[in-house]
Amino acid sequence: MDMLKQFPITQYINEEGELNTNEMKGEVSLDLIKMFYQKMLRARMMDKKCVNLQRQGRIGTYVQYEGQEAAQVGSALAIEEGDWMFPSYRDHAATMTFGHSLRNLLLYWVGRIEGGIPPEGKNIFPPAVPIASQLLHATGVAWAEKKKNTDRVSLVYFGDGATSEGDFHEGLNFASVFRSPVVFFNQNNGYAISVPTEKQMNSKTIAQKGLGYDIPSIRIDGNDILAVFMETQKAVERARNGEGPTLIEAVTWRYGAHTTADDPSKYRDQSESDRRRTTTDPLLRLEKYLKQQNNWDEEWLAETEQEITDEINTALAEMEDVPEAEIEQLFSHVFEKPTWTIEQQREHHMSIKRGQV
């Protein structure tokens, strides 16, 4: 069976900015498109600022996401207050769209524990660095919400590399068996760090991996924010209505390195990123759409950029006003009651600090 035919890529707005589905004609408002653009622009400007801050030595190693804004922003807009979000270490565009503070996002990259704490009332888990572990958290929380008879939904993010981890399969299996209200949102950017998808798995798609667990699955154009928003919204409503989980594969591309400590030129042709900036870029696509509708407004863009710049600079000033993290915090919050091994490590560190070692 040809899985590429069974799981075609769903697209609403094509690379030329044209709405290519009758389903949405008459329903795509100017306000909706401008809101999409503003939130993606905000995410991109934040990402670029963080890369610059890392190069200046003002934050630590940073994990960028430029190019994946449509996948993250569009999906985050599909859930509502009270739902749960489980990000990986690369999903700040999603968390800031769902209401995480920019100050705390910046604090995360300077080692402050506040960086993993969302605003009051926002159900956002801290970024998961171990690959795929967040899928189990999302599935368990969704199941707990179902047991409590709520209509709350979990949305969990992960990359293509995570689908080779056992946690991915355990999460999908559990969610399938117990019909947990969880949306598994995969961002397939073609590389699990330095390993291209075709070397990481023999499957032609990630969406087809849902077949083994009888989970509805779909592939979408991850650079088309309207497709991302609409299809994720459908999956969220399925979960909310008690119809169980969905697996979404958003096919996208990250322009930059895996992290600021990585050199992608060692394992991929970086000219591909240059080409995609002028063809498949998610912001450029909406710009083309607005221009075709005679609704592109340079003055609005300039005002929007200034507002975002001011917001980011305020958050940066607040972050830099917070004292540097104490290394002793490494030993806190590991267990409810510290084990003897943690206490031994803490005492060894304190001895070094006192000059006794």
Collect the ranges in the chain with pLDDT lower than 50.
none
Measured CA angle at 227 (ends 222, 231), to 5 deg: 105
Q: Identify the active-site residue in 55, 267, 275, 333.
A: 267
Is 37 marked active-site? no
DSSP-derived 3-state class of residue 78: coil
pLDDT in tens, 148-174: 999 999 999 999 999 999 999 999 999
- Does 65 qualify as catalytic in the annotation? no
The string of DSSP codes covering 182-210 is EEEEEEE-SEETTEEHHHH-S-S-SGGGG
Residue 90 buriedness (CB in 10 A; 0-12 / 13-18 / 19+): buried
Among the options 100, 152, 258, 276, which is catalytic?
258
254 in active site: yes
- In tens, the pLDDT along 95-113 reads 999 999 999 999 999 999 9
Cβ pair 260, 55 in contact under 8 A:
yes
For residue 332, the model assigns a pLDDT of 84
Q: Select from 131, 122, 77, 128 the least CA-distant residue to 99.
A: 122
- Considering 254, 255, 276, 285, which one is annotated as catalytic? 254
Give the pLDDT score at 131. 96
Per-residue model confidence (pLDDT) at position 62: 97
pLDDT at 353: 79
Distance CA 131, CA 45 (A): 26
Strand, coil or helix: 324: coil
The residue ranges of DSSP E strands in 12-161, in sequence order, are 84-86, 123-124, 154-159
Q: Hey, what domains does the chain have and what are their CATH numbers?
A: 3-325 (3.40.50.970), 326-357 (no CATH)
pLDDT of 23 reads 66
